[in-house]
Amino acid sequence: MKPATTVVKVCRILDQFRDRSAFGLTDLARRTQLLPSDVHRILTSLKTDGYISQDPETRQYRLGLAVMRLGLAAFQRSVLPEKARPELVRLSQETEATTHLGVLDERELEVVLVDQVDVLPKNTFRPHLGASERLHCTALGKPILASMNRHLMLYALEKRGLAKSTRHTITDVATLERQFQQVRQQGYAVDREECTEGLCCLGCPVRDYTGAVVGAISVSMPTAQFLIWEESHLAACVKAAGAAVSSSLGVY
């Protein structure tokens, strides 16, 4: 299949920034062997979306923050599942429950399910790896929302919505804010049939080497099984797994 001409040109331009941090328009055109008009058009489009920035004084072009965020997202999504997998398996065996790993997509402000470990061959939970998890009513989403500043948290709720999945789903922002305060204090969140009737989950945040929350892990089980557990004991198991994953990412 013949590659898209514009995509090839964009990649050729971006590849130049591997060796140098900044370029002028003429220099980029010469190095890529593209017409200056083509280079200018592509750079203007990339600048609009934050993938390229331009120094207002020198007029030179640099990679934008969007490229950095994209690279970090790719890094976290490739490294985090690998680091978390052993803990997900151990936690699943310890709790006799299904465990999940979700990663925060900072650009879209959503949690993406990237791994799941089942304790039994026939499991209640059907994996939808790559799918977005609800933020306001899941044990993966709540710890992430609770880690955000209030402005970003409210924006995320507005953007992703407050759909009512079950009769237990909390859709009042003030009530959620009080719950997030409790999540920050105790270090974990609980979904009590708020996403799916008959299922409960408990999750905690995962942090990167800077201490920033980049995802979450959770255990999910039928409500009858959840009620047998002492919540503090189950939370201690999940938090220990979350701390181990965070430690593997460089958190001390």
> Could you say which residues of the chain have pLDDT below 50?
1-2
Same domain, 88 and 130: yes
Q: Is residue 104 part of a domain?
A: yes
142, 184 Cβ separation under 8 angstroms: no
Q: Is residue 14 part of a domain?
A: no
106, 69 Cβ separation under 8 angstroms: yes
The predicted pLDDT at position 1 comes to 40
Same domain, 52 and 148: no
Does the pTM of the predicted model rise above 0.85?
Answer: no
The predicted pLDDT at position 127 comes to 55
Q: Which domain holds residue 54?
A: 23-63
The predicted pLDDT at position 68 comes to 79
Supply the CATH number for residue 229's domain.
3.30.450.40
Reference 60, options 30, 8, 20, 32; nearest CA is 20
Q: Tally the domains of the chain.
A: 2
Same domain, 32 and 99: no
The predicted pLDDT at position 130 comes to 66
The predicted pLDDT at position 93 comes to 95
Q: How far apart are CA 69 and CA 63, in angstroms?
A: 11
Reference 84, options 103, 71, 69, 70; nearest CA is 103
